[in-house]
Amino acid sequence: MRRYGYRATTLVLFLLCLMYAITYVDRVNIATAAIAFRRDFNLSNIEYGWVFSAFAYTYAAFQIIGGFLGDRFGPRLTLATCGVIWGIATIGMGLTSGFWSLVLVRLLLGIGEGATFPTATRALAKWTKVGSRGFAQGITHSFARLGNSLAPPLVAALIVVWGWRGSFFGLGLLSCAWAVLWFFYFRDEPADHAGISQAELAVLPKTSAAPQGAATPWRPLVRRMLPTTLVYFCYGWTLWVYVSWLPQFFQQGQNLDLKSSALFSAAVFLAGVVGDTLGGVISDRILARTGNLKRARCNLICLSFLGSLICLIPVFYTHDLAVLTASLAAAFFCLELSIGPVWSVPMDIAPNHAGTASGIMNTGAAIAAIISPTVFGYVVELTGSWTAPFIASIGLLLVGAAATFFMRPDQTLDVEENQSSSDKMPVVGVPGTAIAG
């Protein structure tokens, strides 16, 4: 099997794409199901905001922990274990009986999903060539947005067939099935995989990640990742406004029924699917042409934030459903252009500790996930306006754009540690947009 092209790296990338899609369906399915279970449990907007954000408390806590575990024990065991935990939590959503049981199950979901993205980045650090990191991160996150897009109509359809409880049972079983498939197919070291070709091994990084159990340079790693963490917090604030409230924004704010609100939400999230993939491709192309990591990562992130905040402005001045949907979709598209480059930064800065570095970065978005849905609920409950919460998004996108100037993906932590006389890493740009070829 080793003689055939790029089959193993392609399948690993596909499995990670599938994981990203499933995790997002499982974390945002509540936004659509809430249209049904809020009536059963008599939950207010404020209570729903607390239920949704409960996930983010444990999700935030397990970002750095999960990234560290992924670095220490490897993506194979870590992601398989996570898949079982978040699958059980999703099934548990169908067994809830009120506010507090919803909160407890969402906390368990956060534990299960907390390590997933940092650990996936650890896997990509070994299974992706340097010049394709933007594409790999962009395409995996585009599947996360595909999960966002599919979740409203999928959950709505499952509710019609099985009821809202049955929808959670089905999605939870799907998660557990993915965990089993991942454990049996993936290997932490590409060379240990029975199906990998010599052509794949020839282009994969030889030392892209440290051996499992290697010591982590916590202080310099945290210091180097702080600007990126701030940028990702600003991104995460607006993301969680979308994923936690968008179906109800259309259902309650625009007086649509369950089916229509699901379809309009899906249309907005589909714009993010395109943005994720395109942003990764553009970042890799800039790197291949210029060899400049700051241009390939920071400049693109800055422009995407500015484009997103500009596209949000019409939301405050229109009541036309088509214009409103187009504005939200354009803003989400621009926002998602930043994903490929921003998730490449941890691999650029700390390839030997990519799981921990990305966990530090994703803590920013996880903290935003705690605050943003709750603030949205309070603002809507107190003002009656479904557009007012987007004011904070515009402000934070501006802050995030400014913070990109302090990111230094062109300076690798490992070079700083091993070559104290050097201030910069040699930038390697490898053309191409495939994971290994």
Residue 306 burial (CB < 10 Å; 0-12/13-18/19+)? middle
- The Cα 418–Cα 32 span in angstroms is 51
- Is residue 212 predicted with pLDDT exceeding 70? no
Asked whether the beta carbons of 419 and 264 are under 8 A apart, the reply is: no
Q: pLDDT confidence of 211, banded at 50, 70, 90?
A: low
DSSP character at residue 411: S
Asked whether the beta carbons of 336 and 272 are under 8 A apart, the reply is: yes
The predicted-structure confidence for 191-206, as pLDDT tens digits, reads as follows 899 888 888 888 887 7
The first and second tokens of residue 249, run together, are 């924004």
The first and second tokens of residue 10, run together, are 């392609």
- The Cα 390–Cα 167 span in angstroms is 30
- The Cα 316–Cα 305 span in angstroms is 18
DSSP character at residue 299: I
DSSP character at residue 5: T
Per-residue pLDDT, averaged over 145-149, amounts to 81
The domains located in the chain, with CATH, are: 7-211+218-418 (1.20.1250.20)
Asked whether the beta carbons of 280 and 409 are under 8 A apart, the reply is: no
- The Cα 227–Cα 292 span in angstroms is 19
What percentage of the chain carries pLDDT values higher than 70?
Answer: 91
**Can you give 371-390 as a three-state secondary structure string?**
HHHHHHHHHHHHHCCCCCCH
Give CA separation, 150 vs 157, 263, 269, 368, 428, in Å.
11, 9, 8, 23, 37
Asked whether the beta carbons of 23 and 113 are under 8 A apart, the reply is: yes
Could you tell me how far CA 133 lies from the centroid of its own chain?
15
* pLDDT score for 419: 44
Per-residue pLDDT, averaged over 208-212, amounts to 50
pTM of the model: 0.74
Asked whether the beta carbons of 401 and 302 are under 8 A apart, the reply is: yes
* pLDDT score for 112: 93
> If DSSP codes are grouped into helix, strand and coil, which group holds residue 21?
helix
How would DSSP label each residue in 44-57? -HHHHHHHHHHHHH
Asked whether the beta carbons of 56 and 108 are under 8 A apart, the reply is: no
Per-residue pLDDT, averaged over 32-45, amounts to 84
Q: pLDDT confidence of 390, banded at 50, 70, 90?
A: confident
Asked whether the beta carbons of 427 and 1 are under 8 A apart, the reply is: no
- The Cα 30–Cα 155 span in angstroms is 9
End-to-end CA distance of the chain: 17
- Residue (of 154, 119, 121) closest to 25 by Cα position: 154
The first and second tokens of residue 250, run together, are 């259309």
Residue 46 burial (CB < 10 Å; 0-12/13-18/19+)? middle
Higher pLDDT, 307 or 416: 307
Taking all residues of the chain, what is their mean pLDDT, rounded to a whole number?
85
The predicted-structure confidence for 213-267, as pLDDT tens digits, reads as follows 557 788 899 999 999 999 999 999 999 888 777 877 887 777 777 778 778 888 8
- Residue (of 166, 162, 159) closest to 35 by Cα position: 159
The first and second tokens of residue 145, run together, are 């947005």
